[in-house]
Structures are given as C-alpha cells and as structure tokens.
Amino acid sequence: MHERAGTPALPEDLIDVDAVVGAYYDRVPDVDDPAQQVVFGTSGHRGSSLDGAFNEAHIIAITAAIVEYRRSQGTDGPLFIGRDTHALSEPAWRTALEVLAAADVDVHVDARDGFTPTPAVSHAILLHNGAGTAQGVRTGGTGVGSTGGTGLADGIVVTPSHNPPRDGGFKYNPPHGGPAGSDATGWIAARANELMRQGVGSIRRVPFERAVAAPTTHRHDFLSAYVDDLPTVLDIDLIRASGVRIGADPLGGAAVHYWGEIAERHGLDLTVVNPEVDPRWSFMTLDWDGKIRMDCSSPSAMASLVQAMAGRDADGTTPFDVATGNDADADRHGIVTPDAGLMNPNHYLAVAIDYLYGGARPGWSQTAAIGKTLVSSALIDRVAAAHGRDLLEVPVGFKWFVPGLLDGTVGFGGEESAGASFLRHDGTVWSTDKDGILLALLASEITARTGSSPSQLHARLVERHGESWYARVDAPATREQKSALAALRPEQVTATTLAGEEITARLTEAPGNGASIGGLKVTTPNAWFAARPSGTEDVYKVYAESFVSAEHLAEVQSAAQELVTRTLAG
C-alpha cells in the first residue's frame, strides 16, 4: 500500500490534459516496439499517448480494421459508438468517426453529444438486433448470436475503464452485444498493426465536421432507451415505494447524467453524490499504489464515498440506506452499506445471486444456471448448490457469459472484479456486457424487499455456508515462466497436498465450458488457488481463498507460489 492511499489527490498527482491530448496527435508509434503495438486484452486496446501506446495512428488503424472485420462477417447494420470521460476518449471518438464516415458505415452517436456507459451500448446493440424484446432473439444465420447478417448492429466503446487518467481505451462489441472474443480481437489487432506498418496516411478519412454531419451519421438517444427500459429488469416500483435512500457516485465517469435521469424519471430518492466531470480526476482519492484510478471495488479509490456513508445525522442515521459507485464506463459496481462500508465484490455477487435465485425472479427458467469466473469466491458455489442450480464456471473474461445470457440458459453472470449482469424479469437478455448501473440499483431493490442491507445478508450467508478469506497477490515471473504457466497441463502438477489439505482437483481448463484458463487452478476441501500470468507485467497473479482462517489463506498463498515455481522448474 502506498503511504497516501485513500487520501485526496494533490496537484502533483494530476495529468497535464493538454500534454496527453497533444501527444495523441503528435506522437507516432514505433510499430517495431511491442509496447507500442495494438494489443487487445480482455477489455480492448489500452495505453497512454505519452508512451506511444494510444495515439491517433492506433485508432485510425483499429477502426479501419474493424470496418474490414465487420464486412467480412456480413455485419452490415448500424454501428453504435460511445465514449467515457477520459481525456483521450473524445479525440479517439472523433478519429474513429472520421474513418467510419469515410467507409460509409451507418454510425449511431449519442443524441446529447454526451458520455455513454458500456452497458448502454450493449443494450442498444441488442435492442436493434431483436434481443430482449417482444419479437425475441433472431436466430439462424442472421441471429444476434451469429457472426453477422442482414441489418445486424455492432458497437465500439472508447474507454480504458477504470484505468488512470493518462490512459485511453478502445473496445469492440460484435452483434451479440458483449465483449469481442479472441477470434475477433486477434484478427483486428493483427490487421491494425499491419495497417500501421503500411502507414495510416493511406486510410481514408473525412474531416470531423463532415463526418458528424454525414448522412451515415445518426443521433441515438442512448440514455432514454436505457433508463426507460429499467423496469423490465428491476423492480423499480418497489424501490420507489419503499423510499430507500440511494447515494450514487459516478466517480466522474460516463454514468454521471444517467443517475440523475434515473432519479427523475422513476421518482427515486436518489442523490448524485458527485456530479463533477474532470479528465484529471482531481476530486479522487488515490488508489492502493498511489495512482488515480476509478476502481469502484477499491476501498482506497472509494474512500470519499465510504467516509460520507460513515457520517451520522443528528438523529444518528446515515445519509443513505445504500450508496454505490461506478468506474469510468460504468461496467463495474461498488456497493457501500451503513454497517460495513465498501463490500468485497465477491460478497456482493453471492448476495445478489442468493436474492435473484431465491424467488425474486419467478419469470426465469428453473434451469437457468449461475455463471462465475473461476477466480471468484467459492461461496458462490455453495449458494448455487443451496438453490439447486447448475454452476457455469468459466475463465476470466465476461465474454464467456455471452451465449448463456443471450439464450436465457444463464440467469446471472459475474466476475470477481465487480462486473456482472443478469436477465430481465421475463428471462430474456438485458445486456451481454457488464452493467455497473444495474448491479448498483439491484442493491437498492434488495434493501427495499428484504429490509436488510446487502452486507447484513452476506453475514447470514456466512452463518449458513461458512466464512472465507479471499485475496489476490502478484508474484514475479519472467516472460518464459509466464508462457510456461499459460501452457501448463494438469499432469505436470505432481503435488498431492496444499497447505495441509489433500488436493482434490488440478485444473487448466474451466469446468463450465472446457476453455483454457491460461494458467492453473488447484482445489482442496476448504481452499483453492488459481495462478494466471499477467498480460502487461512480468508477474503472475495468484488468487486464493480459504474457508479455514486468515492464517490458512496465507499458507495457501505461500504454498501456491512454491507449487507453481516447482512445477515450472520441471
């Protein structure tokens, strides 16, 4: 932990916006430097203009590659494009629109010239493609779940999510509305790098003023379409009737105008705690490492909201019954309660699942599974078993939940990093990307219906299923070691015990879909760990959980690193 973690940012912590934007236009990336090439992670291409990793050349090339890709897939409907509040998002959005207009792509931009959360883009794509509506999901060669077809829409979100203010990001969502899979992102990245080597000057563009006025550029009211549709997925009437007091902090992100509209249109007792938008994020408290980061799952980044929630009025009451935060593109959620402060993301996921599958959604199929990433808490496994539901355990990445959410075979999909979505009341798809606004409002519905806070409900789950201790740590690794870890096979793990318990499973593929996890997971009767190489740093990540004690968790973490080191050494 940095010595100033959780304290307000100082002037020396802030970016020079002019320098960041200037570098976007002025700096030419070195295409022979891997750090300056286009690389799509689980959430798109990210980087800083100051490092030559997110510059105009990148966006020209990526957008041109997306144009080629969508045509190769037969995707010939509109492309919905949104952006968040990062300093680099508007310049990249303008560049992308210049390329899209020159390619005669029908583009739908925000009708208010404002910011657009990731879930609102996913929602727009799905609605256009006939998902989650009365006509149902189109199927077959032109279906929303297919690679393309006549009139199908796709989308782009210009955001680096919760990354620091100096960064930019660019995500592609195909017609299924969720994060693009590696088949798409791998092709797009390779083609973009090829285009950069050839020189992006040959790629057709039109000046922005012409692009925004082009007959192929249309205005779309993302906000109204999303906000007005919320009663199909949440019990808004219950939240309103209960009078539950909600505090919503957009953390300076794309949800800033959405929260005010949600309060007004649905008559909720909802206060936007901080409506300020500042590309420097001067109002933030520093994250664990001393950086400004809009991570709504981090106690350090959420310190201001946690402190506000801890305050008491003259009568001893807190200002809100539940408070929430979102990251910059609002695909993640943070839940703050009066009795516990900021909830651990795993704890809230378990509570949300227990609530939704405990009778709150009678319109869902009785066979709808529960989706979780394999590095999420095993408390979810126990909750799923208690409700007699199948558990779909998948690798890290929300893309793995997309097929199940589309066809209703998965009612809820959630990640340990505070990202999730779930079905509408009638069992049809709402979004196939993470929706932080949805999960934040669910906390209010839970409070309204049960009369208890989500953290109090977690305590009851612990009484029934046992208390656990969960953490993630990083361990150093060379590039060769990371490659070896990603390619491990179960039989290479010869150990029979872990932290004093018998090993019950050695996994290199996810139980839910057989996909490679890009690492290793080892389980025992009361603990587990998973090790995955980082895609950006020379470390590997060790996730671990123990249902025994905090001390046992430390033993599991230490034993995990020893086991991985020994296994990689052969």
Q: What is the CATH number of the domain that holds 209?
A: 3.40.120.10
Domain coverage including residue 481: 469-568
pLDDT category, 315, cuts 50, 70, 90? low
DSSP 270-288: EEES-----TT-TTPBP-T
Name the domain boundary from 175, 197, 223. 223
pLDDT category, 536, cuts 50, 70, 90? low
Residue with tokens 């100033």: 4
Residue 409: strand, helix, or coil: coil
Segment among 181-195, 252-266, 357-371, 524-538 with least mean pLDDT: 524-538
Do β-strands 539-546 and 527-533 pair in parallel, antiparallel, or remain unpaired? antiparallel
Residue 290 burial (C-beta neighbours within 10 Å; 0-12, 13-18, 19+): middle
Cβ neighbour number for residue 264 with a 10 Å cutoff: 11
| Entry pTM | 0.94
Residue 538's pLDDT is: 79
CB 330 within 8 A of CB 159: no
Amino acid at residue number 168: G
Do β-strands 217-220 and 167-173 pair in parallel, antiparallel, or remain unpaired? unpaired
Q: What is the CATH number of the domain that holds 495?
A: 3.30.310.50
Of the CA atoms within 13 Å of residue 457, those in its CB half-sphere come to 25
* 144, pLDDT greater than 90: no
* 567, pLDDT greater than 90: no
Residue 539's pLDDT is: 83
Segment among 210-219, 444-453, 525-534 with least mean pLDDT: 525-534
Residue 289 lies in a domain: no
Looking at the annotation, which residues are catalytic? 161
- Percent of the chain clearing pLDDT 90 (strictly above): 88
Residue 568's pLDDT is: 82
Segment 119-143 shows an average pLDDT of 69
* 122, pLDDT greater than 90: yes
Segment 433-443 shows an average pLDDT of 98
- Closest to 546 in 3D by CA, of 466, 430, 457: 466
Segment 208-219 shows an average pLDDT of 98
- Closest to 351 in 3D by CA, of 239, 459, 463, 458: 458
* 148, pLDDT greater than 70: no
Q: Alpha-carbon distance 429 to 126, whole Å?
A: 8
Segment 3-21 shows an average pLDDT of 97
Residue 110's pLDDT is: 98
Q: What are phi and psi of 46, to 5 degrees?
A: -135, 155
Residue 314's pLDDT is: 60
Structure tokens at 19: 């320098």
* 26, pLDDT greater than 80: yes
- Closest to 504 in 3D by CA, of 521, 525, 483, 519: 525
Structure tokens at 140: 């077959």
How many domains does the structure of the chain reveal? Answer: 2
* 134, pLDDT greater than 60: no
Residue 34 lies in a domain: yes
CB 529 within 8 A of CB 542: yes
Residue 479's pLDDT is: 85
Residue 132's pLDDT is: 59
User: Would you say how long the chain is, in residues?
Assistant: 570
Residue 143's pLDDT is: 46
Segment 246-259 shows an average pLDDT of 97
Q: Alpha-carbon distance 40 to 239, whole Å?
A: 39
- Closest to 169 in 3D by CA, of 537, 536, 542: 536
User: pLDDT tens digit string along 467-500?
Assistant: 999 998 888 888 888 899 999 899 998 999 999 9
User: pLDDT tens digit string along 396-412?
Assistant: 999 999 999 999 999 99
Residue 224's pLDDT is: 97
* 137, pLDDT greater than 70: no
pLDDT category, 566, cuts 50, 70, 90? confident
CB 380 within 8 A of CB 372: yes
**More reliable by pLDDT, 520 or 311:** 520
* 80, pLDDT greater than 70: yes
Residue 85 lies in a domain: yes
pLDDT category, 313, cuts 50, 70, 90? low
Segment 283-289 shows an average pLDDT of 95
CB 435 within 8 A of CB 179: no
Find residue 131's DSSP bridge partners: none
Residue 254 lies in a domain: no
Q: Alpha-carbon distance 68 to 47, whole Å?
A: 23
pLDDT category, 312, cuts 50, 70, 90? low
What are the distances in angstroms from CA 331 to CA 91, 155, 449, 462? Answer: 22, 15, 25, 27
* 166, pLDDT greater than 90: yes
- Percent of the chain clearing pLDDT 70 (strictly above): 95
Residue 335 lies in a domain: no
CB 133 within 8 A of CB 225: no
Structure tokens at 72: 């190769």
- Radius of gyration, CA atoms only, the chain: 23
Residue 60 lies in a domain: yes
Structure tokens at 197: 């080597």
Name the domain boundary from 192, 223, 254. 223
* 376, pLDDT greater than 50: yes
Segment among 341-355, 382-396, 418-432, 468-482 with least mean pLDDT: 468-482
Residue 373 lies in a domain: no
The enclosing H or E element of 449 equals helix 436-450
Q: Alpha-carbon distance 261 to 135, whole Å?
A: 28
Residue 135's pLDDT is: 37
Residue 434 lies in a domain: no
Cβ neighbour number for residue 361 with a 10 Å cutoff: 21
Residue 318's pLDDT is: 81
Name the domain boundary from 223, 245, 260. 223
Q: What is the mean pLDDT of the chain?
A: 94
Cβ neighbour number for residue 302 with a 10 Å cutoff: 28
Taking the mean position of all CA atoms in its chain, how far away is CA 158?
A: 14
The enclosing H or E element of 486 equals helix 479-486
Q: Alpha-carbon distance 443 to 448, whole Å?
A: 9
pLDDT category, 311, cuts 50, 70, 90? confident
* 549, pLDDT greater than 60: yes
